[in-house]
Copies of this chain bind each other. A is one copy, B any other.
Amino acid sequence: MKTPLLLINFKTYIEATGKKSIELAKIAEQVAREQGVNFAVAPQFSDLKPVSEAVDIPVFSQHIDPIRPGAYTGHVLAEAVRSAGAGGTLINHSERRIKISEIEETLEIARSAELATIVCANTSGVGAAVAALDPDMVAIEPPELIGSGVAVSKAQPELITRTVTRIRDVNKTVKILCGAGVSYADDVISALTLGTDGVLVASSVVKNKDPKKLLQEMAGAMLDHRGLRLSASASN
**How far apart sit A93 and B63, CA to CA, in the bound complex (Å)?**
20
**How far apart sit A187 and B13, CA to CA, in the bound complex (Å)?**
42
**How far apart sit A54 and B165, CA to CA, in the bound complex (Å)?**
47
**How far apart sit A110 and B5, CA to CA, in the bound complex (Å)?**
36
Q: Which residues of B contact A162 (CB under 8 A)?
A: none
Do B11 and A71 touch (CB < 8 A)?
yes
Which listed segment binds B: A94-102, A188-196, A216-224, A227-235?
A: A94-102
Do B49 and A80 touch (CB < 8 A)?
no
- How many chain copies does the complex carry? 4
Interface residues of A in 101-136 (CB under 8 A from B): 101, 103-104, 121-123, 125-126, 128-134
Q: Is A151 in the interface zone, CB < 8 Å from B? A: no
CB distance from A135 to the nearest CB of B (A): 11
Closest to A9 in B: B73
Closest to A107 in B: B125
**How far apart sit A13 and B68, CA to CA, in the bound complex (Å)?**
9
CB distance from A118 to the nearest CB of B (A): 12
Given known contacts A49-B49, A50-B49, A129-B100, is B73 in contact with A63 (CB within 8 Å)?
yes
Q: Is A17 in the interface zone, CB < 8 Å from B? A: yes
Closest to A98 in B: B99
Contact with B along A14-33 (1 / 0, CB 8 A): 10011100000000000000
